Amino acid sequence: MRVLVKGAGVAGLTVAWQLYRHGFDVTIAERAGKVGTGASGFAGGMLAPWCERESAEEPVLTLGRMAADWWEAALPGHVYRRGTLVVAGGRDAGELDRFAGRTSGWEWLDDAGISALEPDLAGRFRKALFFRQEAHLDPRKALSALTAGLEEARMRFLFGAAGEPARYDRVIDCTGAARIGRLPNLRGVRGEMLSLESDEITLSRPVRLLHPRHPIYIVPRDKGRFMVGATMIESEDTGPITARSLMELLNATYALHPAFGEARLVETGAGVRPAYPDNLPRVTEDGDTLHVNGFYRHGFLLAPAMAGEVARRLLAEQRQPERRAS
Ligand SMILES: Cc1cc2nc3c(=O)[nH]c(=O)nc-3n(C[C@H](O)[C@H](O)[C@H](O)COP(=O)(O)OP(=O)(O)OC[C@H]3O[C@@H](n4cnc5c(N)ncnc54)[C@H](O)[C@@H]3O)c2cc1C
């Protein structure tokens, strides 16, 4: 079966990877000149289904808990299994109890426990929640590595192109926010982020700082870089970060640790998360095309599960071609 995957964000690349593993003949068409120029390139890369359950439905946990294993099997060495630390400032300490009440898989830490994990946060917070089972990766590195692996496997990439669907048996559309207005009920949720560089502070794992209005997270990258995210704005605007959002993200980062006041601001950006009304991704059928969309805040977390779903459907069709006709 010849398959065209449209879109080389995290959805398209994981689908392509999964189909390649099952022996399908796959071509990837990406409108841009390289991979990861959509929402995927701005992501934190947190594989955090237990924390996300605070505001997400149960499938995010049940489908997302296998994500770290999937990424580690696909890209050995790219997944950091160091958990997530969740803290709140003195006046917002009640937020921690609220967060604990809506999630599972955590343990309470006191100041000594916090400093054992993150020495640079010693003395800054009286207590924290630690989600030991969570993991993270660097999205841009992961997407580049997946691409390199697929190219090595001789998969065809068509950059700057939409492909020619008529030449394929099946099209898997993974074009994310580009389908807003064309897939029923798909909307955009703008997420602004920034990157800081500092050699005065080290963090080993994602840290979430709770706040009633402006919760943030900081995800450490290599070479003293930190990704700080993210706003959640009901909008399809991909334009530059606003002054207000920049101030809010920087204020919260400074509240986490004043050393960030001396950090260099090396990048700002915004991506549009494609989302359905229940904020859960899905695979939908439209003639010869399967749409894989609606990843919302959970592209890296849930793309492996959705890629598995696509592979199962195509394998079933290959075994029983009449199933599709019915
Ligand atoms: C600031 C921010 C932080 C986030 N943090 C996390 C996180 O920590 N963990 C997590 O799991 N998720 C996170 N997310 C969510 C995640 O990034 C998205 O859910 C995910 O990127 C959506 O992936 P996608 O492949 O569907 O879309 P995209 O990444 O937007 O990819 C779609 C691709 O399709 C291409 N395209 C469009 N039209 C066409 C066409 N006609 N033909 C060919 N190609 C086309 C585009 O150029 C693009 O490359 C975050 C998102 C943002 C914005």
CA distance linking residue 41 with residue 38, whole number of Å? 6
Q: Which residues are CB-contacts of 84 (< 8 A; sequence separation ≥ 6)?
A: 46, 48, 50, 51, 130, 131, 134, 136, 205, 206, 207, 208
**Does residue 171 line the site of ligand 1, with CB under 6 A?**
no
Residue closest via CA to ligand 1's atom 48 equals: 38
Is it the case that residue 212 has pLDDT exceeding 90? no
142-189 tens-digit pLDDT: 999 999 999 999 899 999 987 788 889 999 999 999 999 999 999 999
Task: Report, in this order, helix, strand and coil percent for the chain, each rounded to 5.
Answer: 40, 25, 35
Average pLDDT over residues 297-321: 95
**Does residue 273 line the site of ligand 1, with CB under 6 A?**
yes
Where helices occur in the chain by DSSP H, the ranges are 10-21, 49-52, 58-64, 67-74, 93-102, 111-117, 139-152, 243-256, 299-319, 321-325
List, as one string, the DSSP characters of 72-135.
HHHSTT--B---EEEEE-GGGHHHHHHHHHH--S-EEEEHHHHHHH-GGGTTT-SEEEEETT-E
Average pLDDT of the chain is 95
CA distance linking residue 174 with residue 40, whole number of Å? 12
108-149 tens-digit pLDDT: 999 999 999 999 999 999 999 999 999 999 999 999 999 999
61-85 tens-digit pLDDT: 999 999 999 999 999 999 999 999 9
Percent of the chain exceeding pLDDT 70 equals 98
Backbone angles phi, psi at 109, to 5 degrees: -120, 145
Best residue for ligand 1 mutational test, from 273, 279, 302 (most atoms within 8 Å of Cβ): 273
Q: Which residues are CB-contacts of 224 (< 8 A; sequence separation ≥ 6)?
A: 197, 198, 199
Best residue for ligand 1 mutational test, from 4, 5, 10 (most atoms within 8 Å of Cβ): 10
326 pLDDT tier (thresholds 50, 70, 90)? very low
**Does residue 177 line the site of ligand 1, with CB under 6 A?**
yes
323 pLDDT tier (thresholds 50, 70, 90)? low
Q: Counting atoms of ligand 1 from 1, which one is nearest the CA of 300?
A: 11
The confidence score (pLDDT) of residue 324 equals: 63
What's the gap in Å between 280 CA and the centre of ligand 1? 14
